[in-house]
Amino acid sequence: MADVVLVTGVSRYLGGQFARALTQDPSVKRVIGVDVIPPPGDIGRAEFVRADIRNPMIGKIIAQSEVDTVVHMNVIATPTHAGGRTSQKEINVIGTMQLLAACQKAPSIKRLVVKSSAAIYGSSPRDPAMFTEDMGPKSLPRAGFGKDSVEVEGYVRGFSRRRPDVEISMLRFANIIGRGIRTSLTDYFALPVVPVPFGYDARLQFVHESDAIGSLLLATTGPSTGITNVAGDGVITVSQAAGMAGRPIIPVPMPAAGIFGNLVKRSGLADFSGDQIQFLAFGRGLDTRRMREVLGYEPEYTTRAAFADFAQGVGPVIPGAGIFRSAVTGAAETAVGAISHVWAAGRND
């Protein structure tokens, strides 16, 4: 039973929704939500405390409130939502280090729940059909959110060795989707035209935002589970997802992937990085037997149903789609031409 629960990242959509849901559990006596800015939405009877987890002050809050359970929701997937990539990394990595250091010193802490990501598995052509929790990535994420997630999990494992008395539940979520949450992937499928790596149609898995909250609630108040994959049943392909969202696709050669990613980012319509482009090419699948057998959670939404719910909330294609398509096509042709020129020059040397 969790008596006093501290939730990080409550000013963000999922953190705020989770804090509010947690206050409705009669077994939880007190919920403390922390973040650097006040939450924009209702967080129920949770008490908001303005605090930065990168500051050692978080330790005083834990000690003074005799927190017994910490739910770390403040691992940010999208750079623009954090003020840029540098700020994102500081919050994700430095913030986690400081939070765990505070937890290590607090004798009241009995459980740590961490919102992690399936991004730690990376994406490569050598991946298994389904990743189980004991599998490692075939190609380690080298940048962005995936690399942050690997480092965060490393710090959690170190904390577990130093505080073996603390129960650890770390949920590796597939891409979370729904009508309320905004991520780089929801922005991507809301583009007027969806650029897709030429020759690829990756398999995608999603978890609905309500299932993400439901599984986190169970991890907080139920039995400790260790590392657990969380995803809706089944997969859909990138082209199927684009069709469900009513978006035309445009094939872009992989050599131009970086350029079209930068184009999309500069347009302000979506924030896409190199590791996400790899994901769109090769996809990822999660084995979720542990989610059912150990965590005891059964998702309400399949992958297809979760994406369908998101797609119903996506507006129609905005005017100017033709201009955007032309810009993407032009960028792709420029990149391929430049790469071909360099390759030809190399052959002549």
Pairing between β-strand 47-50 and β-strand 69-72 as defined by DSSP bridges: unpaired
Identify the CA nearest to 30 among candidates 12, 13, 55, 48: 48
Q: What is the full per-residue pLDDT of the chain (349 aa) written as tens digits?
A: 679 999 999 999 999 999 999 999 999 999 999 999 999 989 999 999 999 888 889 999 999 999 999 999 987 666 555 455 566 666 677 788 899 999 999 999 999 999 999 989 988 899 999 999 999 887 776 666 677 888 888 899 999 999 999 999 999 999 999 999 988 889 889 988 888 888 899 999 999 999 999 999 999 999 899 999 999 999 999 999 999 999 999 888 876 666 666 666 665 556 666 667 788 889 999 999 999 999 999 999 999 999 999 999 887 765 555 545 555 555 544 444 443 343 344 444 4
Identify the CA nearest to 323 among candidates 335, 315, 331, 334: 331
Domain ranges of the chain: 4-313
CA–CA separation, 13 vs 233, rounded Å? Answer: 24
Q: Which CATH class is domain 4-313?
A: alpha beta
CA–CA separation, 226 vs 317, rounded Å? Answer: 43
Q: With contact defined as beta carbons under 8 Å apart, do 53 and 34 qualify?
A: yes
